[in-house]
Amino acid sequence: MIKPAILALEDGSVFHGVSIGADGETSGEVVFNTAMTGYQEILTDPSYSRQIVTLTYPHIGNTGINEEDVESHRIHAAGLVIRDLPRLVSNFRSVRALDEYLAAHGILGIADIDTRRLTRLLRDKGAQNGAIVAGVDAQGDDAVARALAAAKAFPGLKGMDLAREAGTREIHEWHDGEWQLSKGYADFRQRERPWHVVAYDFGTKHNIFRMLTSRGCRLTVVPPQTPASEVMAMNPDGVFLANGPGDPEPCDYAIRAIQEILATGTPVFGICLGHQLLALASGAKTIKMKQGHHGANHPVLDIDRGHVMITSQNHGFAVDEASLPANVRATHRSLFDHTLQGIELTDTPAFSFQGHPEASPGPHDVSPLFDRFVAMMEGRRQAA
């Protein structure tokens, strides 16, 4: 049964399509992602909390949904916008269709709209607050007015602390390694892991933890507001700062904790939101980007080596390179818009990267950063 859906943006733009998920209403910041694959990973990435994701690739859903390609325990995106939902699902791991998956999780989606027009609009005007109404809510003479009102009522992500919501509530251990065909995720419970890493979970993607575990890290995952004293009492070899959603500036609890951890000389590695928080803790500033970076094909320059890496990206805030203090140097820069992509502290073992070296989806050009973190912990142990 075909049900109507409406996507409305704060600038007054309206798109009419068909519902491919739950009925009802949702609002958030509308962004576009240029990845050709990985829609299941994108939907379950906590960094997309309070965001409506538009996928620029036209055919989404043709490989269905499986039980393994998830980056968290639930869908975090506020909604999904696509051009076409194929009727035929074909993949040996698929257990259900995309529209069934969205409906089961109470997530709204809209298809059969001109995503090229929408992407150009978002590219030119920047990320827009928007709303999707679907099913009964998309019917009636006032449906468009209600959708526009919901879009304009969304407060925007600037100043919004979402790490508290997306991160874990309890301290726990992590044991899964990377995925292997026909074997699934490796279980490291009985394997030797020489490096104890305490990981701040601000809304992490699971593949980050899998890649750290596969490199010999025994992970203790802690909530976003865990005090530094509690972390250091665990005697970690290193501290990891995960990705997550929202604006980094309101996360004053995390910034204070990171400052205290840096003072101990413990190796620190941050990704995405963790990168921004490390910069803020070091005295730099962050800015809200026009449309952000969302995709799996972003070229980034490794300044030290002069190499170009193709990276996976998902962020709407960035560190202002002009605000870096004297003890923080730039290590990576985007070749799309020249925004800062990586930093390193010169007076303590700490570094970070704005993109996603764990990919999922995307290329693995930046995965050696995990090895660098392990080498940093090994070097500090040998020097002790």
- Catalytically active residues, by annotation: 272, 356, 358
Q: How many CB atoms lie within 10 A of CB 291?
A: 18
246 is in an annotated binding site: yes
Give the residue among 240, 235, 243, 248 at the shortest CA–CA distance from 269. 240
276 is in an annotated binding site: yes
314 is in an annotated binding site: yes
In this structure, are strands 328-334 and 340-345 parallel, antiparallel, or unpaired? antiparallel
CA distance 351 to 275: 8
* The two three-digit tokens of residue 359, written as one number: 């990919």
* The two three-digit tokens of residue 93, written as one number: 């791991």
109 is in an annotated binding site: no
In this structure, are strands 128-134 and 24-33 parallel, antiparallel, or unpaired? antiparallel
CA distance 324 to 280: 9
282 is in an annotated binding site: no
CA distance 194 to 72: 26
244 is in an annotated binding site: yes
CA distance 233 to 34: 43
Give the residue among 202, 176, 163, 154 at the shortest CA–CA distance from 31. 154
CA distance 14 to 293: 24
Length of the chain: 384
156 is in an annotated binding site: no
Q: How far is CA 151 from CA 9, 130, 145, in A?
A: 6, 4, 10
182 is in an annotated binding site: no
CA distance 366 to 48: 21
Residue 291 near residue 122 (C-beta atoms within 8 A): yes
**Residue numbering of the annotated binding site:** 47, 244, 246, 273, 276, 314, 316-317
**Residue numbering of the annotated binding site for L-glutamine:** 47, 244, 246, 273, 276, 314, 316-317
